[in-house]
Amino acid sequence: MIFRTFTILLGSFIYSVAINALFLPHHLLSGGLTGVAMMLEYLFHLPTGLSVAVLNIPLFFGSYRMIGKRFTWLSVVGILSSSLFLSLTRAWVIPVKDPMVAAIFGGLISGIGTGMVIKNRGSLGGTDIIAIIINKYFSFSIGGIGLAMNGIILTIAAFLFDVEMAMLTLVSIFVGNKVIDSIQEGFNHSKTIIIVSDSCQEIADELFRKVKRGITFIEAEGAYTKKQRKLIYMVVRVMELARVRDIVKRIDPDAFLSIIDTREVEGKGFLKE
């Protein structure tokens, strides 16, 4: 918990720097309730940090009752620290002249900060908490809920300010979400491989020696040929994929390979480097 709390504090600081140093000077928005707080600053000159804290107060109680104590505590740390850092870094500005560069670079930095918070089971409040609550009770996609709410916020921004601001904000949200996904899944993604071959045992022995990954045999039957055979099922890193292909094709040039993207892998037989 100490490590998670420290990382969430660091992540919220990075996120706050992106808001103050890149978004606000170019009148761009962030996603979620922070974007609403920024609109309030543009319209009524209300400090973004204060608005973020106030807007999230009702969500604390909903999170505590509907999600859990630990998540709520870590979210409180994220929200209050981001509000504090938004106030402390208020005068920070990164000298960028092009709004598009500010949107891309701001999305990158804010995505790093948000990703660090989410990776450690916390949140920066706002739409994250709302999406998790809706997902828990109605099984809607968290990503879809967040996208819908951000769509509403950007539509309002387009009417209140201008379409260009909304489009640049959309660019920053897209970049930020990509960075968050990379932090959550890791940069060395995994692949699930299914191999169909008449030389499964020989291929498996060679893969054990050269790749050193867990392998499972699956008994199967060809629907057309009615022939009984084994399938090889294994999960590898992307960096190991070319080696697996070479081994399989060298032993059986006619082997059938199915390669599938895998978002997360845990358990015996797949040690994380």
How far apart, in Å, are the Cα atoms of 55 and each of 40, 46, 142, 231? 11, 12, 20, 54
- Same-domain check for residues 124 and 164: yes
Neighbouring C-alpha atoms within 13 Å toward the C-beta of 242: 1
The CATH number given to whatever domain includes residue 252 is 3.30.70.120
pLDDT at 187 over 60: no
pLDDT band at 273 (very low <50, low <70, confident <90, very high): very low
Name the pTM for this structure.
Answer: 0.69
pLDDT band at 206 (very low <50, low <70, confident <90, very high): very high
28-63 pLDDT, tens digit per residue, is: 888 778 888 888 888 888 888 788 888 888 877 777
- Same-domain check for residues 21 and 137: yes
- Same-domain check for residues 179 and 200: no
272 lies in some domain:
no
86 lies in some domain:
yes
Determine the pLDDT at residue 5: 87
Q: What value does the CA radius of gyration of the chain take, rounded to a whole number of Å? A: 24
92-103 pLDDT, tens digit per residue, is: 988 888 999 999
- Same-domain check for residues 115 and 213: no
Torsion angle in degrees (nearest 10) through CA of 212, 218, 222, 228: 100
Q: In terms of residue numbers, what domain contains 8? A: 2-185
First to last CA, the chain: 23
- Same-domain check for residues 7 and 119: yes
- Same-domain check for residues 169 and 44: yes
Over residues 1-28, the mean pLDDT reads 90
- Same-domain check for residues 123 and 206: no
270 lies in some domain:
no
87 lies in some domain:
yes
Q: Are 198 and 229 in contact (CB under 8 A)?
A: yes
pLDDT at 207 over 80: yes
- Same-domain check for residues 55 and 145: yes
218-232 pLDDT, tens digit per residue, is: 999 888 888 888 899
In sequence order, which residues have a C-beta less than 8 Å from that of residue 159 and are 6 or more positions away?
Answer: none
* pLDDT averaged over every residue in the chain: 84
Domains contained in the chain, number: 2
